[in-house]
Amino acid sequence: MQYKEVILLKCGEIVLKGLNRSKFEQKLMDDVRRRLSPIGTYSLVSRQSTIYVRPKDEASAAAIDKAFEAAKDVYGIAALCKAAECPKNTDEIFKILPEYCRNELAKAKTFKVNAKRSDKNFPLTSPELAALAGGVILSRFPRLKVDLDNPDVTVTIEIRETDAYIHANRIPGAGGMPLGSNGHALLLLSGGIDSPVAGHMIAKRGVSLTALHFESPPYTSPRAKQKVIDIARVMTKRCGNMKLIIVPVAKLQETLRAKCPSELFTVLFRRFMMRIACRIAEKEGIPALVTGESLGQVASQTMEALNATDAVVDRVVLRPLIGMDKEEIVTIARQTETFELSIQPYEDCCTIFTPKHPKTKPRIDKLLQSEANLNIDALCEEAISELEIIELP
């Protein structure tokens, strides 16, 4: 039997694009190459809303299962499957079909066959090809029954321009838009559960990320810093290569504690974090910020508090979690493999000096009155002057 095993990646939303669709496809293929390059050498061809991934050598062919697992995490792919690529000849197709799909069919009780014929010169219509293929399967697996509504296994035969493709039970992909197709944003990344999820959700919309983390040594430990580095490194699997910027803010926090009302500390500190983020974003040429805020979850995430922090921001703030509850956020954190790292019990700068009774409905005039005694520019620049940059592949 003459066939090669390939991976078929079905494009998602980008199929709706117009004249600039090729740019989105190129972004998607670039990200697929990034994910597959540590595994093997593969050629990628985009045609008819499908990316064909073909091994270039025997070692890459042997690693195709690993390549398939890696492709599951690429944003922009609606569905994917491994397939047998063979000549558009019914004799070849019917020889390969029961063997290639043997594992799936052996475990099933019911099945159906879908046939898709984009090459209209192929001698059989799609219904005719499906009916004959079903007969071939039943002759090899006589205990199976046909179920057109809810089968255990769906076998698909695609007759394309140059070859035929046989596969069973394609699976959903990561969905969304290709990484980097919708710009760049600065993610405020803490050591908690929420902000990594926010990063993943905005990356799924095609946004590449730079991460900004605030640390407070000696109040926060080196292990707390390493925890955030580990989270960011896990995020690169789906979110692409990432620059992690770490800014120390212990002196800033000490100043706020000494000179400002304790009940306003949380919101005042949040305003400084946003100011620093905007200054770094400006230097990096980044037009948007991303935060993991969820409305009403903590004192700094009430409508009044969000208004107070946004008042010092000079660019759009993206809050993908704003209407989600904690259970929904945790579910995504588990799916994206950051949850177990996020729950490690190391300090976070946002928990340092937290007042017993933080103001949940801060007034802008009171905040401005407190900040009047501070040299805002000097405090921001002092923190930024000591930043550290870590490049995460």
Per-domain residue ranges for the chain?
4-172, 184-392
Predicted confidence band of residue 34 (pLDDT cuts 50, 70, 90): very high
The CA distance from 130 to 115, in Å, is 5
The whole-model pTM stands at 0.89
The type of residue at 34 is R
The 10s digit of each residue's pLDDT in 369-389 is 999 999 999 999 999 999 999
Average pLDDT (346-357) is 82
In whole angstroms, give the CA distance from residue 298 to residue 326: 11
Q: Looking up tokens 């989105």, which residue turns up?
A: 24
Out of 3.30.360.10, 3.30.1490.190, 3.40.50.620, 3.40.190.10, the CATH code matching 184-392 is 3.40.50.620
More confident residue, 228 or 358: 228
Helices (H), 152-288: 194-204, 222-239, 250-259, 265-284
pLDDT in tens, 241-253: 999 999 999 999 9
pLDDT band, residue 355 (cuts 50/70/90)? confident
| DSSP single-letter state for residue 205 | B
Residue 319 pLDDT: 98
At residue 1, does pLDDT exceed 70?
Answer: no
Q: What digits encode the pLDDT tens for the residues 237-283?
A: 999 999 999 999 999 999 999 999 999 999 999 999 999 999 999 99
Instruction: Using pLDDT thresholds of 50, 70 and 90, give the confidence band for residue 346.
Output: confident
Provide the CATH number for the domain formed by 4-172 in this structure: 3.30.2130.30
In 3-state terms the chain splits into helix, strand, coil percentages (rounded to 5) of 45, 20, 35
CA–CA distances in Å: residue 1 to residues 84, 95, 101, 351 = 11, 7, 14, 64
How does pLDDT run across 163-182, given as a tens digit for each residue? 999 999 899 999 999 999 99
Do 88 and 122 form a contact (C-beta atoms < 8 A)? yes
pLDDT for the residue 354: 83
Q: What is the pLDDT of residue 165?
A: 97
pLDDT for position 277: 98
pLDDT, residue 351, reads: 78
For 371, the enclosing helix (H) or strand (E) is helix 364-371
